[in-house]
Amino acid sequence: MVELLHEVEREEEVERKPIEKVCIVVSKGSLEGIYPALIMANGARMEGMEADLFFTFFGLDAIRKDRQDGIKVATVGNPGMHLPTLVGIIPGMSWLATKMMGRQMEKLDIPPIGEFLELIHDSGGGIYACHATVEMFGLTEKDFIPQLDGILTVGEFYERSAGAEIIFT
């Protein structure tokens, strides 16, 4: 009993250490898969933390020159949209939902993806692509936005992430 009490006291003494670095893995290529990661990376920099973004699989679309402007909200397979699946499949639905959301975001001063990545890059945040996916999709550095800091293997990613909180989206 006495020992238990000591345990509790000791736990209370542990100071909660502030987060110093975040590494955010972006694996999805939908608007709702990409934006939260960008907001979190930018938010980390705004709080003075280090921040890296690591794009893998379809998340790579966010940093691909030819795909970046075509990123859309998923209107199918996305219960959060509260849209019947059969309505979601109508051509143009995804485009419309993306347009509407874009307008709302602009009102809140949330930049489009390209400008947002530039902002994060200029803030000192790192922007990296996953080596395995880049090879799988047959891409080269030329396919990516100029803000790309490098193409990393998973080992290099972990090395860069030393001491960081890793967040997977």
Which residues of this protein are in contact with other proteins, per CB under 8 A? Answer: 39, 42-43, 45-48, 108-111, 115, 119, 122-124
CB nearer to other proteins: give 68 or 133. 68
CB nearer to other proteins: give 43 or 150. 43
- How far apart, in whole angstroms, are the C-alpha atoms of residue 163 and residue 158? 10
User: Are residues 158 and 152 in contact, defined by beta-carbon separation less than 8 angstroms?
Assistant: no
CB of 16 to other proteins, least distance (A): 15
CB nearer to other proteins: give 45 or 67. 45
Name 156's Cβ contacts closer than 8 Å, sequence gap at least 6: 131
Give the three-class secondary structure for 152.
strand
CB of 45 to other proteins, least distance (A): 7
CB of 41 to other proteins, least distance (A): 12
- How far apart, in whole angstroms, are the C-alpha atoms of residue 129 and residue 32? 19
